[in-house]
Amino acid sequence: MRRPSTIDARGCCTIYGGPTFEPNSIPKPYFCGMLPSDSIEQVVELFSTLPTIGKKTARRLTFHLLRRPIEEVEKFAAAMRFMRENVRECEQCHTFTDKDVCGICSSTKRNPYVICVVEQPSDAMAVERTGDFSGRYHILHGALSPVDGIGPADIRVQELVARLNSEVTELILALNPTVEGEVTTQYIAKMVGPLNIKISRIARGVPMGSDLEFADDATLARALEGRTPV
Ligand SMILES: [Zn+2]
């Protein structure tokens, strides 16, 4: 197969001349639709498997890396490999950590009586950024979704029940406002119901800085339901 050598601004190959053209005519560039090397194509394919990365962004990232010094690219590759080899789930809360027990679970300054249940480690980080929660977390790594075949065994819900000892007095369910989040909230409430533990859920409402008229009906209904005295 002939390998074209010119790369255009889109990261695609552009070669002059079609399959046939007149000797004295002006040759027009044509787009043959393929990348100039298999290794580039492979990296683009890999990047485009990442969430929110489309083909266009994948090509941009690939060509950016291609223009960086080899040491910098090696640093990227080594950091990713090191992270993948060393980061694991915390034995208690199941967030990602490079120790057996994460910093929050091992901290004596955190309230061990209250556990905030979230879907992903990034959700725990979002709660943590508020600076208003001093308890511990439990990461489910997903939510129940019967339609997609995701059941209780596929998320860390049994692990949550197992860590509910006499020390824990309250569970705060902070799952996403989706059908899956709702199903999971109801499931956990039912599982934990017989235990003597207070269960609460975070309120839903209108985001700061947004207009009421643009809020969807369900959000507005939830905001009214969760109204608080001024
Ligand atoms: Zn932990």
pLDDT tens-digit map of 159-170: 999 888 778 999
Q: What is the mean pLDDT of the chain?
A: 84
Q: How far is the CA of 83 from the centre of ligand 1 (A)?
A: 17
Total domains in the fold of the chain: 2
Average pLDDT over residues 116-139: 93
What are the contacts of 105-113 at 24+ separation with CB within 8 A? 105/136, 109/134, 110/134, 110/135, 110/136, 111/135, 111/136, 112/136, 112/167, 112/168, 113/167, 113/168, 113/169, 113/170
Which residues have C-beta under 5 Å from ligand 1, the single-atom ion?
A: 90, 92-93, 102, 105
Q: How far is the CA of 105 from the centre of ligand 1 (A)?
A: 4
Which among 84, 117, 145 is the end of a domain?
A: 84
The answer to whether residue 80 sits within a structural domain is: yes
Are 144 and 75 found together in one domain? no
Are 42 and 78 found together in one domain? yes
pLDDT tens-digit map of 148-205: 999 999 999 999 998 887 789 999 999 998 889 999 999 999 988 888 899 998 887 7
Are 119 and 217 found together in one domain? yes
Q: How far is the CA of 106 from the centre of ligand 1 (A)?
A: 7
Confidence band of 4 (pLDDT split at 50, 70, 90)? very low
> What CATH number should be reported for the domain holding residue 119?
3.40.1360.10
The answer to whether residue 19 sits within a structural domain is: yes
**pLDDT at site 183:** 92
Q: How far is the CA of 71 from the centre of ligand 1 (A)?
A: 34
Question: Which residues span the domain enclosing 52?
Answer: 14-84
Are 55 and 104 found together in one domain? no
Are 114 and 213 found together in one domain? yes
Are 23 and 135 found together in one domain? no
Q: How far is the CA of 182 from the centre of ligand 1 (A)?
A: 24
Q: How far is the CA of 193 from the centre of ligand 1 (A)?
A: 24
Average pLDDT over residues 60-77: 96
